[in-house]
């Protein structure tokens, strides 16, 4: 077997594979073990820019940060970005090689397999441990031939497998037993044990089922992970429309609306707004009209012309025009920015059929889609309040026009985006626009959020869980996920001679491919056996030690909150803090949201309901901006019965 590779597979999508790989990577990093994440094939519209300029899935970028590394294209050599119901853009080693339908990609798979094996070999040579994440389920019978994402890859590199199942969705025993039954004998032998994810309730009621599962399958239950409410890790490709269900409880909130388009991409742009205590963020599904709000954000899209057509079919274009007439603000990001112009041209048919489409006509510009994709990480300043901003670019369009003479951002490569003359519309190609605290504060102030506080989100608020011990640095990364339920069948005193915490000696991200640390004391915690067990990290009893509970570690500093200390650095929030942009840097983008600069902005204005004939009411009060924007003295959502701020007026 491969001595330094462990693969985590799931019985279903969203079973917890990404979380477990991230957790193990963070724990190994804190033990001083050089570990790297790896996903052979990923299908996702949420992507990130790697340090070497390529494109990978966001989950692998988060896992790399948890391991103390900068994301690299070797960590996700094959990325599929769906652009139709039957086709995807295929990205190999971070670069797009073309659009393929399902049959074309099936024929291309032998080349994709070579790419995955080459990338894994390079990682194995550079790191002590490679943590591999599977995709979907290994029991998809129709996808077994030429599989490079699950058991096909595990057999190619000869590595053990952990199988994860989600008990919260129900049927966990059927998922585990059924998956094993559908595997071949050799594949079944690779499964070293089970992990049950998202358990909530009385452990005593689950224990009989665990005993039955072990007896029936002959496989151990390695651990039971608790349900962590409000856990905020960057999503791989899923979007929850109820993500801000608790926002109605916020007082003095800014209402932000994101229309959900069929090919929406990089919706992780809005994660900082989800967590902001004074922002009521809503993702608007296709069957709803646009309600009254302060800010509308058009997100990125993998099929700009197609999504623009759907936007028009739903009548959202007219609702956006009305939103602007009443003084609302509008932001377009990447594909959403392209939609704001007069025309979008796709002469090569890169996203759909070749041709051109009319844009929303809100900015004087045109965009031509090009096969050469722009990939880069950027830092610069917003034109609004001269606030610092950072993010990344992933786009394949060239935009020109007079609107660009008034840019929205200033980057080292030059100006970016556009800001309308009346200050109501902002467009940019930069993803991660709200990740930088000064930029987030400036943009929210521009949109109408008054007197935003100096917000320093504790790790518990950002990640939905405070580890035992009361401090974000008070437990090991492993204990944060498994501390509430000791692994089934383990003896708590078995490893007492090694029950100590060794905080990471590296308080900065390491470049990918840095020389391996040969210190024996760093390698020993993961490699050395205990109680006469196997010394190999991936399988058998050695794996159980990854989940065994440890006592709380001594914090690095005496503060009871999670604010970074400039002198000592910030240890992160064990497991639950591992998804921040820069886990160990005091200026972490998610560690705080600074107070906004005092900005001049239009007052919040909301349209009153239309009459029975569908006509808009005559505006009252004085006119602004040439008579096009008028202030409604009593916003309809405040005067409506029940005061429902999200009652549709569209």
Choosing from 323, 431, 465, 546, the catalytic residue is 431
What are the residues whose beta carbons fall under 8 Å from the beta carbon of 266, sequence distance 6 or more? Answer: 45, 46, 47, 58, 299, 300, 333, 334, 394, 431
Q: Which helix (H) or strand (E) holds 427?
A: strand 425-428
Quick check: is 342 catalytic? no
DSSP tag of 13: T
Q: What is the DSSP string of 67-107?
A: TTB---GGGSSEEEEE-SSSEEEEEETTEEEEEEEHHHHHH
Question: In terms of C-beta density within 10 A (0-12 exposed, 13-18 middle, 19 or more buried), how is residue 400 classed?
Answer: exposed
Q: Rounded CA gap, 479 and 225, in Å?
A: 10
Q: How far apart are CA 10 and CA 240, in angstroms?
A: 20
Taking every pair of Cα atoms in the chain, the longest distance, rounded to a whole number of angstroms, is 83
Dihedral (C-alpha) 620, 623, 629, 634: value to the nearest 10 degrees? -30
CA distance 571 to 467: 13
Q: Which residues contact 429 (CB under 8 A, 6 or more apart)?
A: 333, 334, 337, 374, 393, 395, 399, 416, 417
HSE (side-chain half, CA atoms, 13 Å) at 493? 0
Residue 465: active-site member: no
Query: Of 334, 440, 472, 562, which residue is the catalytic one?
Result: 334
Tell which residue, 278, 313, 307, has the closest CA to residue 295. 278
Question: Can you spell out the DSSP letters for 178-237?
Answer: HHHHTS-HHHHHHEEEEEEEEE-S-HHHHHHHHHHHHHHHS--EEEEEEP-TT-----SS
**How many helical (H) and strand (E) elements, i.e. helices and strands, does the chain have?**
17, 28
Asked whether the beta carbons of 103 and 322 are under 8 A apart, the reply is no
Task: Give the whole-angstrom CA distance, residue 315 versus residue 649.
Answer: 13
The alpha-carbon radius of gyration of the chain (Å, integer) is 26
Q: How far from 248 is each of 254, 304, 429, 647, CA to CA, in Å?
A: 11, 31, 31, 12
Which candidate, 346, 250, 275, 276, places its Cα nearest to that of 304? 346
Tell me if 378 sits within 8 A of 413, measured CB to CB: yes
Q: Which residues are catalytic?
A: 334, 431
């Amino acid at each position: 077997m491969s001595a330094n590779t462990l693969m985590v597979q799931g019985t279903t999508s969203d079973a917890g594979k990404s979380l477990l790989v991230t957790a193990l990577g963070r724990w190994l990093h804190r033990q001083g073990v050089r570990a790297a994440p790896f996903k052979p094939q990923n299908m996702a519209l949420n992507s990130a820019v790697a340090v070497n300029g390529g494109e990978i899935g966001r989950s692998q970028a988060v896992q790399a940060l948890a391991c103390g590394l900068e994301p690299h294209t070797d960590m996700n050599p094959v990325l599929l970005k769906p652009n139709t119901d039957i086709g995807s853009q295929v990205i190999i080693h971070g670069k797009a090689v073309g659009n393929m339908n399902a049959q074309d990609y099936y024929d291309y798979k032998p080349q994709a397999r070579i790419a995955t094996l080459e990338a894994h070999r390079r990682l194995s040579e550079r790191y002590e441990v490679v943590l591999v994440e599977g995709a979907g389920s290994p029991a998809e019978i129709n996808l077994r031939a030429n599989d490079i994402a699950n058991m096909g890859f595990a057999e190619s590199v000869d590595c053990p497998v952990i199988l994860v199942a989600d008990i919260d969705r129900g049927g966990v025993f059927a998922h585990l037993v059924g998956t094993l039954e559908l595997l071949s004998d050799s594949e079944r032998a690779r499964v070293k044990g089970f992990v049950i994810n998202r358990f909530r309730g009385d452990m005593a009621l689950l224990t009989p089922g665990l005993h039955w599962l072990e007896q029936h399958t002959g496989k151990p239950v390695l651990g039971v992970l608790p349900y962590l409410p409000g856990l905020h890790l960057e999503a791989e490709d899923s979007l929850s429309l109820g993500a801000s269900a608790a926002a109605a409880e916020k007082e003095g909130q800014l209402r932000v609306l994101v229309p959900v388009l069929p090919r929406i991409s990089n919706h992780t742009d809005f994660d900082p707004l989800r967590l902001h205590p004074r922002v009521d963020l809503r993702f608007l599904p296709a069957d709803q009209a646009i309600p009254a709000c302060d800010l509308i954000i058009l997100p990125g899209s993998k099929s700009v012309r197609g999504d623009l057509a759907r936007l028009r079919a739903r009548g959202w274009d007219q609702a956006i025009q009305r939103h602007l007439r009443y003084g609302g603000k509008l932001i377009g990001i990447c594909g959403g920015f392209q939609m704001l112009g007069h025309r979008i041209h796709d002469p090569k048919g890169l996203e759909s059929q070749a041709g051109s489409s009319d844009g929303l006509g809100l900015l004087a510009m045109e965009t031509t889609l090009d096969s050469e994709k722009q990939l880069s990480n950027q830092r610069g300043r917003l034109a609004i309040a001269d606030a610092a901003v950072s993010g990344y670019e992933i786009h394949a369009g060239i935009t020109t026009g007079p609107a660009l003479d008034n840019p929205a951002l200033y980057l080292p490569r030059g100006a970016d985006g556009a800001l309308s003359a009346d200050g109501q519309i902002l467009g940019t190609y930069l993803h991660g626009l709200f990740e930088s605290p000064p930029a987030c504060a400036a943009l929210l102030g521009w949109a109408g959020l008054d007197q935003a506080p100096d917000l320093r989100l504790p790790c518990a608020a950002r990640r939905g869980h405070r580890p035992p011990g009361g401090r974000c640095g008070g437990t090991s990364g492993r204990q944060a996920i498994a501390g509430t339920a000791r692994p089934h069948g383990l003896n708590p005193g078995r490893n007492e001679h090694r029950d100590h915490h060794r905080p990471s000696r590296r308080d900065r991200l390491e470049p990918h491919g840095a020389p391996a640390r040969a210190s024996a004391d760093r390698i020993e915690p993961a490699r050395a056996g205990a109680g006469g067990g196997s010394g190999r990290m991936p399988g058998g009893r050695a794996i159980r030690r990854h989940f065994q509970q440890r006592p709380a570690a001594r914090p690095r500093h005496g503060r009871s909150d999670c604010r970074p200390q400039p002198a000592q650095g910030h240890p992160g929030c064990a497991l639950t803090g591992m998804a921040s942009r820069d886990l160990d840097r005091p200026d972490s983008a998610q560690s705080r949201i600074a107070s906004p600069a005092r900005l001049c902005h239009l007052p919040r204005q909301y349209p009153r309901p239309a009459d029975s004939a569908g006509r808009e009411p005559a505006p009252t009060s004085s006119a602004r901006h040439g008579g096009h924007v008028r202030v409604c003295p009593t916003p309809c959502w405040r005067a409506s019965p029940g005061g429902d701020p999200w009652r549709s007026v569209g």
